[in-house]
């Protein structure tokens, strides 16, 4: 019996698996050799994107995983993305491209929330798909998102099943019915919209800023730019024990500080900027007054220095010696380096030049973390890596100081301050709208309020269950059925026995107002006497409702509704009261007007903030004008 693959249980962690198809029975060692060859091909193919990328916590990685419990051998990777959700979606892009570049590979990807790709496309999923039956149905194949369907009717498709398939079954279905399992265009568009812009988006996610840092940190970051993430995380997640090591700095002395340029991700930069921190006086890190033109560079450097000091304080200076690994000794390194050269990783740089050596060191580090990844017990911690670099990396403080005059300009950080209009634009883009809707002028008087009424009617007419209510998107395709006996029995229980005689069999159109206007009664399929019974029941129902209206007309409940006659009286600006025949003739309630008035009153009470009225209408595609006066008077709805 197949062992179900467990979802990623570690918080903020994404897991990805690559299977080989067709997965024909073959020698296990031969299968392992083929999959390991794919690791080398994949990592070298995507090295130009993956090597310089700054990960929040862990990089993209792949390793061979043998078959177990019915799950065939495959390539497996797990990445903890932490607070930077963009790391997860970048991995989605990488996995999608892998299946496009290597057609024999099928990919599955999930995180601790489960099928997060389905969550992203939740508004467009078929109704049958839910968390209970989605296991082993969602894959990437040939660069496209695929969903293995469940049959709508028994026997509709012999290869599909109402129960979740096993991994071998899913792989067999994908290899033989690739066109039938392609996800709908709307579902694929929702996922593609989330990863749109890569790989160019990588540069847009970076923020370069000037930092007044100890020379040792500047030299380390020049060699290993990715270590900035570990330094920021150490400062961001510091505790009182960590701060003890920063009372007096032992590794990164403040008198060695220089001005340098540091590349952060926007997430890391925001984490560093948003925290207020006053250094210990004994540390030697004193900040200039806030009015100083380089105050921000001093503050950023002080915070980052604390993070690096904390990392180094967590390990012994000699603990890294036993964990040193020679990358070039690995049998995979020669082939990996040759593949890098073929993929133009070095961009024509002269071998042995400073720029060539920098890219070579980055490639070695990338190879160690992603290709030749050691077991966790032998992995080098960021602090040990920093101490090792400080011991082996020669740097001249005076040379670094000379570079201060030629630093690249800082990036503008106004993106930290999000205006309401920018927030609306982001929300609209997340909802699938390419461009924000233009704001509606306060002077615009032609806003059609009938759209509010129509949308609400469409919403109410939809089916709702214990799982929630459906938003109106497409008209219901379910046929309308009518059972006369059930209809009569239902009202007999509520209203009591019907009178034996019926006043008339001739009914006006208004007699059917109690039914949905979109529904039709199929009297042709009823017995001859049933049609008269139904009409009699409707007459009785109308009589009961008329008596109820009479009783409620003069109560506070009845007076709270706006009637059509009141509406006509308002339009004519008449102060006369129409007493009628002693008030015996009731004026029908204007349902549309009352609905719109109540919604506008609720919208006004939100005082320009988010609330139930605006959220409900926006979910149905209705956008009201901005409530600039907070409590505007609702205008009457036209005929």
- What's the pLDDT tens digit per position in 192-237? 999 999 999 999 999 999 999 999 999 999 989 999 999 999 999 9
Select the more confidently predicted residue: 532 or 422.
422
H helices of 106-150, in order, are 116-120
If pLDDT is split at 50, 70 and 90, which confidence band does 377 have? very low
DSSP 220-286: HHHH-TTHHHHHHHHHHT--HHHHHTTSS-SSS-GGGEEEEEEEEEHHHHHHHHS------GGG--P
Select the more confidently predicted residue: 151 or 54.
54
**pLDDT at residue 393, rounded to an integer:** 83
DSSP state of 368: I
Which range is least confidently modeled, 355-369, 394-408, 445-459, 568-582? 568-582
Select the more confidently predicted residue: 283 or 368.
283
From 56, 88, 427, 420, select the one nearest 271 (Cα to Cα).
56
pTM of the model: 0.72
Select the more confidently predicted residue: 153 or 76.
76
**pLDDT at residue 185, rounded to an integer:** 95
If pLDDT is split at 50, 70 and 90, which confidence band does 302 have? very high
Highest mean pLDDT among 178-187, 311-320, 450-459, 502-511: 178-187
Which helix (DSSP H) or strand (DSSP E) does residue 193 occupy? helix 185-194
- Given a cut of 70, is residue 36 above it in pLDDT? yes
Over range 556-583, report the average pLDDT.
58
CB atoms within 10 A of CB 289: 6
**If you count them, how many residues does the chain have?**
639
- Given a cut of 50, is residue 443 above it in pLDDT? no
Which range is least confidently modeled, 125-129, 438-442, 461-465? 438-442
User: Which residue is associated with the tokens 């109820």?
Assistant: 548
Task: Report whether 49 contacts 97 (CB < 8 A).
Answer: no
If pLDDT is split at 50, 70 and 90, which confidence band does 522 have? very low
- Given a cut of 90, is residue 576 above it in pLDDT? no
**pLDDT at residue 329, rounded to an integer:** 62
């Amino acid at each position: 019996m197949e062992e179900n693959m467990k979802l990623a249980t570690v918080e903020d962690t994404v897991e990805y698996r690559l299977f080989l198809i067709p997965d024909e029975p073959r020698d296990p060692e031969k299968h392992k050799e083929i999959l390991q060859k794919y690791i080398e091909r994949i990592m070298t193919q995507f090295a130009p994107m993956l090597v310089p990328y700054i990960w929040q916590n862990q990089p993209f990685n792949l390793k061979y995983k043998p078959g177990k419990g019915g799950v065939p051998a495959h390539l497996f990777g797990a990445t903890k993305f932490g607070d930077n959700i963009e790391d997860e979606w970048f991995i989605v892009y990488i996995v999608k491209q892998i299946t496009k570049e290597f057609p024999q590979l099928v990919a599955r990807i999930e995180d601790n929330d489960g099928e997060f790709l389905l969550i992203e496309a939740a508004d467009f999923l078929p109704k049958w798909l839910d968390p209970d039956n989605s296991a082993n149905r969602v894959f990437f194949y040939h660069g496209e998102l695929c969903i293995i369907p469940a049959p709508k009717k028994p026997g509709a498709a012999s290869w599909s099943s109402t129960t979740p398939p096993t991994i071998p079954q899913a792989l067999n279905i994908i290899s033989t019915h690739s066109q039938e399992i392609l996800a709908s265009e709307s579902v694929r568009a929702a996922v593609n919209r989330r990863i749109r812009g890569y790989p160019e988006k990588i540069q847009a996610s970076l923020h370069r800023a000037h930092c007044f840092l100890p020379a040792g940190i500047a030299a380390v970051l020049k060699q290993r730019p990715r270590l900035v993430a570990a330094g920021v995380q150490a400062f961001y997640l510091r505790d009182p024990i960590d701060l003890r090591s920063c009372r007096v700095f032992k590794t990164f002395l403040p008198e060695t500080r220089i001005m340098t340029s540091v590349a952060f991700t926007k997430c890391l930069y925001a984490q560093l900027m948003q925290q207020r921190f006053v250094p210990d006086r004994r540390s030697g890190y004193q900040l200039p007054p806030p009015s100083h033109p380089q105050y921000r560079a001093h503050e950023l450097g002080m915070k980052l220095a604390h993070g690096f000091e904390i990392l180094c304080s967590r390990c012994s200076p000699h603990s890294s010696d036993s964990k040193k690994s020679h990358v070039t000794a690995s049998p995979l390194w020669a082939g990996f380096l040759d593949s890098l050269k073929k993929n133009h990783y070095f961009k024509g740089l002269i071998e042995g030049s400073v720029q060539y050596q920098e890219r070579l060191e980055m490639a070695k580090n990338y190879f160690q973390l992603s290709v030749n990844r050691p077991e966790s017990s032998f992995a080098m911690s960021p602090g040990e890596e920093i101490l090792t670099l400080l011991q082996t990396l020669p740097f001249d403080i005076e040379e670094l100081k000379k570079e201060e005059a030629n630093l690249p300009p800082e990036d503008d950080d106004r993106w930290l301050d999000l205006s309401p209009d920018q927030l609306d634009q982001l929300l609209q883009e997340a909802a699938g709208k390419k461009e924000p809707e233009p704001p509606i002028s306060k002077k615009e008087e032609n806003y059609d309020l009938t759209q509010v009424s129509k949308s609400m009617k469409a919403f109410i007419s939809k089916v709702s269950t214990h799982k929630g209510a459906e938003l109106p998107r497409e008209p219901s395709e379910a046929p309308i059925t009518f059972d006369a006996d059930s209809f009569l029995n239902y009202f007999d229980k509520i209203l009591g026995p019907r009178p034996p005689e019926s006043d008339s069999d001739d009914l006006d159109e208004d007699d059917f107002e109690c039914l949905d206007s979109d529904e039709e009664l199929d009297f042709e399929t009823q017995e001859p006497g049933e049609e008269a019974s139904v009409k009699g029941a409707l007459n009785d129902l109308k009589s009961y409702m008329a008596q109820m209206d009479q009783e409620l007309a003069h109560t506070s409940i009845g007076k709270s509704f706006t009637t059509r006659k009141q509406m006509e009286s308002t339009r004519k600006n008449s102060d006369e009261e129409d007493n009628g025949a002693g008030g015996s003739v009731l004026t029908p309630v204007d349902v549309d007007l009352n609905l719109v008035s109540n919604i506008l009153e609720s919208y006004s009470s939100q005082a320009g903030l988010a609330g139930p009225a605006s959220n409900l209408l926006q979910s149905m595609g209705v956008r009201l004008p901005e409530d600039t006066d907070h409590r505007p008077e609702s205008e009457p709805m036209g005929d």
